[in-house]
Amino acid sequence: MQCDNIINTLAPCLVQSGWNGDLANFASIFLGVIILATFPLLVTIVLIWFERKFAARIQDRLGPNRVGPFGLLQPFADVIKLLGKEDITPAGADKLIYNIAPVMMVMSVLLIWAVVPLSPIHVGMDLEIGALYIISVASFGTLSVIFASWSSNNKYALLGAFRVVAQLISYEVPLALSLLIPVMLAGSMSLVDITQAQAGMWFIFVAPLSAILFFISSQAETGRAPFDLLEAESELVAGFNIEYSGMKFALFFAGEFMHVFTNGVLMAVLFAGGYIGFGGLENSIPLLGIVFLFLKASVFYMLSLLIRNAIPRVRIDQLMNFNWKFLVPVSIVNVVMMAFLLKVVQALGIAPTPELANDFVANIPQTLVLFAGNVVLGLLVMNTVSSRIRKERLQESANRAIVPMGAGD
């Protein structure tokens, strides 16, 4: 046996070498876990450099350019600096929970990668409830914020956590509702099944409104601009992480950087076909599937960076109003509409049969119906929002025109 794929063939190779079967399986799984957990952490180092360069170009600056060629060693210099910072623990802090919180922030992101299909043969675990698993483990990030603020024994940190938790929990509602659409279209919660169901047509063309809702909600749940209320320097000194220093402080931001790219990966898996490329090349050369997945994820990642550096920060009341008065109602209507249109497609007999599910032409009739429904709903939402804004402006103009008696005395 040739050990050409170390993850898939390591256990049989070890057994042939005289290892115990259970021990060989454990070694193979352990190696896979190490690789899957280490890769996102290494990518984060590159992402920090790239994001700083990207922001610099938008703001007409150069960005990191002193440490190493093109500033490539700047993230390593930052890590060395943070390692040299004094690790301070407040006297009144709950030391156990205080030290666990930063680790939980990073762990909440790493656990998502466990169910992401990187290629047709590279996947950590194909869970039948993969979509539900993503929502569940992402909540660890919310718990880490609560743990960090409460254990710090600082009132400013606790006040910051109240606001953060309100934001994160609120935006999980439209996130989960938009995640229902790929599950409905694929007929499964497994991320592998959702990816394979897009072999004929990517879901971003079938349900573009759901993709937009998921992207916006994931941005807010990550805490990136314009929803960056997790850090509140102007109001609460720093926010929930005010009492942290050194590498513990850095772990919160490492989790954030990692989460942004992970959201891009999830967008690619749920709405852009994941590892599926062109001509079925990913089946003959599995490593190309990983390349296709990361190229798609990079597009969504750069879009999030552009939004972060182009749109100003919103207030907390605007943030909550946008969620509960706009995103949640639209998400609910979107789910109902998509469920109705899927039944209509089935009743008309234009849904692709299981034999033709991977055929592009066979998916066109269903795609046209569902895409048209998304366009109609999008136009209705835009018209409603436009009418509401126009009404508020007219009311504001009328209020300014009314001069109370005695105002000119």
Quick: pLDDT tens for 281-328.
888 888 888 899 999 999 999 999 999 888 888 888 888 999 999 999
Q: What is the pLDDT of residue 1?
A: 40
> For residue 403, what pLDDT band results from cuts at 50, 70 and 90?
low
| The pLDDT value given to residue 119 | 86
Say whether the peptide bond before residue 226 is cis (omega within 30 degrees of 0). Answer: yes
In this model, does residue 6 exceed pLDDT 80? no
Q: Do 160 and 236 contact (CB within 8 A), yes or no?
A: yes
Radius of gyration of the CA atoms of the chain, in A:
24
pLDDT band at 2 (very low <50, low <70, confident <90, very high): very low
Residue boundaries of the structural domains of the chain: 1-83, 85-338
Cβ-in-10-Å burial (0-12, 13-18, 19+) of 252 comes to: buried
3-state secondary structure of 123: strand
Q: What is the rounded CA–CA span in Å between residue 123 and residue 98?
A: 33
The CA distance from 302 to 306, in Å, is 6
Percent of the chain with pLDDT over 90: 40
How confident is the model at residue 211, as a pLDDT? 95
Least confident of 7-16, 248-257, 328-337: 7-16
CA dist., res. 311 & res. 58, Å (int): 12
Q: How far apart are CA 6 and CA 11, in angstroms?
A: 9
Q: 236: left (phi > 0), else alpha (psi -120 to 50), else beta? A: alpha
Euclidean distance between the first and the last CA atom of the chain, given in angstroms as a whole number: 97
For 192-240, the pLDDT digits (tens) are: 999 999 998 999 999 999 999 999 999 888 877 788 776 666 665 667 8
pLDDT per residue over 243-281, tens digit each?
Answer: 888 888 888 888 888 899 999 999 999 999 999 988 778
Looking at residue 404, its pLDDT comes to 62
Closest CA to 208 of 329, 362, 384, 372: 372
In this structure, what are the phi and psi dihedrals at residue 329, rounded to the nearest 5 degrees? -60, -45
For range 107-125, the mean pLDDT: 88
The stretch 377-381 carries a mean pLDDT of 94
Q: Tokens at residue 233, please? A: 């320097």
Q: Read off the pLDDT band of 370 (50, 70, 90).
A: very high
Which pLDDT does position 235 carry in this prediction?
63
Q: Which of 11-20, 300-309, 325-334 has the lowest mean pLDDT?
A: 11-20
- Per-residue confidence (pLDDT) for residue 167, from 0 to 100: 86
Say what the pLDDT of residue 405 is.
58
117 phi, psi to nearest 5 deg:
-75, 110
Q: Is the pLDDT of residue 25 over 60?
A: yes
d(CA 218, CA 168): 10
Judged by average pLDDT, the poorest of 83-92, 107-116, 126-135, 171-180 is 83-92
The pTM (predicted TM-score) of the whole model is 0.88
